[in-house]
A and B are shown apart, each in its own frame.
Chain A
Amino acid sequence: QKEVEQNSGPLSVPEGAIASLNCTYSDRGSQSFFWYRQYSGKSPELIMSIYSNGDKEDGRFTAQLNKASQYVSLLIRDSQPSDSATYLCAVIEHAGGTSYGKLTFGQGTILTVHP
């Protein structure tokens, strides 16, 4: 079983719509969750971090965390063609202090926003 799983893609949404990206994780002790965006041929770019249950909003992006369900999501409102990229969910699995520098990534979801 994969440690971090993302909803299978690719995901295609029309411009202006809400894109919803989902991620589940297996380590119940995980405390830190991140969303990265990666354009083709580029490196991952951090767009959101979330540590507590609930919602965290930053501009058009909202991250949602539910630790009881081991679920984290990213909503992109008013999607733009420039949002077309691969979105990576990443988790830090806290294991007695030895894992703080280790991000475990999902396989990524390809998002396409069409005009």
Chain B
Amino acid sequence: KAGVTQTPRYLIKTRGQQVTLSCSPISGHRSVSWYQQTPGQGLQFLFEYFSETQRNKGNFPGRFSGRQFSNSRSEMNVSTLELGDSALYLCASSLVRDRGREQYFGPGTRLTVT
């Protein structure tokens, strides 16, 4: 079974631009969560989607948004990029949205903002 896939793997953008990242979960997985990883802050939760609805959101500004499609694929968007948005963006999928379900991470998208 194929793992979580993320595209693109690497991205370089300029301050003020916007970016869209894509995540395809493991086949059959319906919940997708997004995380930001930086050396200073570690891994931080961005949001979770299940059944095309955002179920939970972390402490990030409104510039960070996302959506989920009927096939469970998810996208996240960052508008008006700032230098501090440079990070590894990870998505993780899980089988169903119940307590304790294991999350499996994709390879991540490395975003560099210049």
Contact = CB atoms under 8 A, between A and B. Distances in A.
A104 B107 CA distance: 19
A43 B90 CA distance: 8
Contacts of B35: 103
B103 A46 contact: yes
Main secondary structure of the interface of B (DSSP, over half): strand
Contacts of B105: 36, 43-46
The SS class assigned to the A binding surface is loop
B33 A102 contact: yes
B99 A94 contact: yes
A42 to B, nearest CB: 7
Contacts, number: 71
Given A43-B90, A43-B107, A98-B56, A104 B100 contact: no
B42 A32 contact: no
Interface of B: 31, 33, 35, 42-45, 48-50, 55-56, 58, 88, 90, 92, 94, 97-108
Interface of A: 31-32, 34, 36, 42-46, 49, 51, 88, 90, 92, 94, 97-108
